[in-house]
Structure 1
Amino acid sequence: MYLETHDVVKQYANHLALNKVSISVPKGTVFGLLGPNGAGKTTLIRIITRITAPDSGDVMIEGRQSVGNDIYNIGYMPEERGLYKKMKVGEQAMYLAQLRGMSKKQAHHELMVWFKRFDIMDWYNRKVEELSKGMQQKVQFISTVIHDPDLLIFDEPFSGFDPVNTDIVKNEMLRLKDEGKTIILSTHNMESVEELCDNIALINKSQVVLQGNVFKIRKDHRPNIFRFRIFGDDFNLEHPSFELLSKEPYHEFIDLRIKKLNGISNNDLAKLIFDNYEVVSYDEELPTMNDVFIKTVTKDKNISTL
């Protein structure tokens, strides 16, 4: 593992922000840090980035205890953007790059690469206040990655972006991942989680309530619903092993949604339909990460109020 937290606890006055939070982030992956507002995500990020310290617990990087100098190998883009409105874009980007330990020459070279890549060279000598929110986001993103850190942390990086620029940033994240960077993505955009994340941890009420591989989590939460498209003008098969949820005509076909019951295997259910109808296509419905998020958080809420 590249990054691990072990039983991290953080208390603010009467508020327990993190309660023995443990996560494991594999090297060279995109890791989704998910949870409702106030769940403790930002507190955990601030502990990882050494902005604040845990009351107890450990942060491990590549198997060793995190130390002060690790901050130079971390790029952090917080949800609250912090650009100086009156400074020129290029001057500010240079300033932030040098704060991260880059020489002036090295910083200028890398900024030229990134500004060309994001097609914002014309804005280099403009003041930040003249930029749209989306353009400021691009500058913030560049300032996060400019020093080539191994660990990148993005907190709601897509807010303020239109769909085109969202795709640009997503592609840059995937390119950085392909280069071997480890990325933590904190977002409420579950579509982005499915597109980008290899693994996730879901924090609710200061605790990790779900963690693992995205595809496996979706499979583990599947509702055993299957879609069949059959040839014909009707479907009247009844069987105790399934429940017909819907049937809709589609040209010369019928689209079925069927819920599997009574422990029948997927193969046996498919065979039952195939033996009685001409099947054009079929697949299993997997829940979206949004479905999993809502189900897990709601279940956790119900349990906590019993």
Structure 2
Amino acid sequence: MPLLKVSDVTYSYDGIVNVLLNVSLSVEEGTIVGLVGANGSGKSTLIRNVLDLVRLQSGSITVDGHPHDRPEAKQACVYLSSNDYLPEFLTAREYLTMVGRLYGVEVDHDEAVALFRRFSMEGRYDHLVEDYSHGMRKKTQLVSALVVRRPLTVIDETLNGIDLEALHLAEEEFRRVREEGRSILLCTHDFGVLERLSDKIVFLDLGQLVSEEPTAELVAEHGSVSAMVFEHLEAARR
């Protein structure tokens, strides 16, 4: 059974416009799956459905074999959102401790400090979040997910706003996540990252699933992820 299975999910706002229409996809254990699509394609709405942040209207979603709205499913996921909202009145140490308690895991603060050092934030682990830059908050989000080690990490444009060196390090850490048998659903407009990292690409357009293909096959056929996306968009908008 896939770690994440989305089956025939349809979602609309105010019952008027379908933001998602009969979307089905899967994320297997030990894989990185890229989620792409133009703004308004339904990516964030799909993610909110997966994480039970909006009420599922039709279809079904399971995480680690459990219905997505069950505590067992939520314990299996960690979500990194596109914004950098973190509790400013906490230090990073206090924030990661809180996240660990939510998941019932003991945080390895030595590992977190080492990751802070790797991400060029040495000496800032015990500083208040309110003193962090936008990029530092994004990197703190990444560190929190790496430390709590959930089976599924869902990333919604979190990589926007971090520097190139941090992006390179994040890619290395994501590969380690995959090697450990955990999975990532990675939503990003950085197609180069997806070509380097992802095992499979899920492409949404106007709320519908356009394709769900292995990245290597997609690149072999179209030349690049961006070429595939723009070829479709140009044809669809004619």
TM-score, normalising length: structure 2: 0.91
1:188 aligns with 2:181: no
More strand by share: 1
In the alignment, the residues of structure 2 paired with residue 118 and residue 90 of structure 1 have an alpha-carbon distance, to the nearest angstrom, of 11
Larger RCO of the pair (alpha carbons < 8 Å, separation 6+): 2
* Deviation per residue, 1:34-83 (Å, 9 max, x gap): 11111111111111112122210011335554341211110110112220
Task: Give, in angstroms, the shift of residue 298 of structure 1.
Answer: 2.1
Task: Give, in angstroms, the shift of residue 136 of structure 1.
Answer: 1.3
In the alignment, the residues of structure 1 paired with residue 83 and residue 163 of structure 2 have an alpha-carbon distance, to the nearest angstrom, of 18
Q: For residue 100 of structure 1, what is the aligned residue in structure 2?
A: 103
SS of residue matched to 1:87: coil
Q: For residue 276 of structure 1, what is the aligned residue in structure 2?
A: none
What does 1:37-76 align with in structure 2 at a 5 Å threshold? 37-62=39-64, 65-69=67-71, 70-76=73-79
What does 1:282-297 align with in structure 2 at a 5 Å threshold? 287-297=223-233
SS of residue matched to 1:115: helix
Alignment gaps of 5+ in structure 2: none
- Give every structure 1 segment of 4 or more consecutive aligned residues whose post-TM-superposition deviation is greater than 6 Å: none
Partner residue of 2:116 out of 115, 118, 127: 118
Q: For residue 128 of structure 2, what is the aligned residue in structure 1?
A: 127
The alignment of Structure 1 onto Structure 2 pairs a total of residues equal to: 232
1:300 aligns with 2:236: yes
In the alignment, the residues of structure 2 paired with residue 64 and residue 93 of structure 1 have an alpha-carbon distance, to the nearest angstrom, of 26
Alignment gaps of 5+ in structure 1: 222-286
Further displaced range: 85-94 or 168-177: 85-94
In the alignment, the residues of structure 2 paired with residue 185 and residue 29 of structure 1 have an alpha-carbon distance, to the nearest angstrom, of 11
What code does the residue aligned with 2:109 have?
L
- Quickly say closer, same or farther: Cα 1:128–1:64, change in 2 above 3 A: closer
What code does the residue aligned with 2:186 have?
L
SS of residue matched to 1:146: helix
What code does the residue aligned with 1:149 have?
R
Task: Give, in angstroms, the shift of residue 193 of structure 1.
Answer: 0.8
In the alignment, the residues of structure 2 paired with residue 138 and residue 215 of structure 1 have an alpha-carbon distance, to the nearest angstrom, of 29
What code does the residue aligned with 1:144 have?
A
In the alignment, the residues of structure 2 paired with residue 297 and residue 63 of structure 1 have an alpha-carbon distance, to the nearest angstrom, of 35
Contact 2:64 2:76 survives alignment (8 Å): no
Cα RMSD for the two superposed structures: 1.6
Higher Cα Rg, which structure = 1
In the alignment, the residues of structure 2 paired with residue 220 and residue 115 of structure 1 have an alpha-carbon distance, to the nearest angstrom, of 43
Percent of aligned pairs with the same residue? 26
What does 1:123-272 align with in structure 2 at a 5 Å threshold? 123-221=124-222
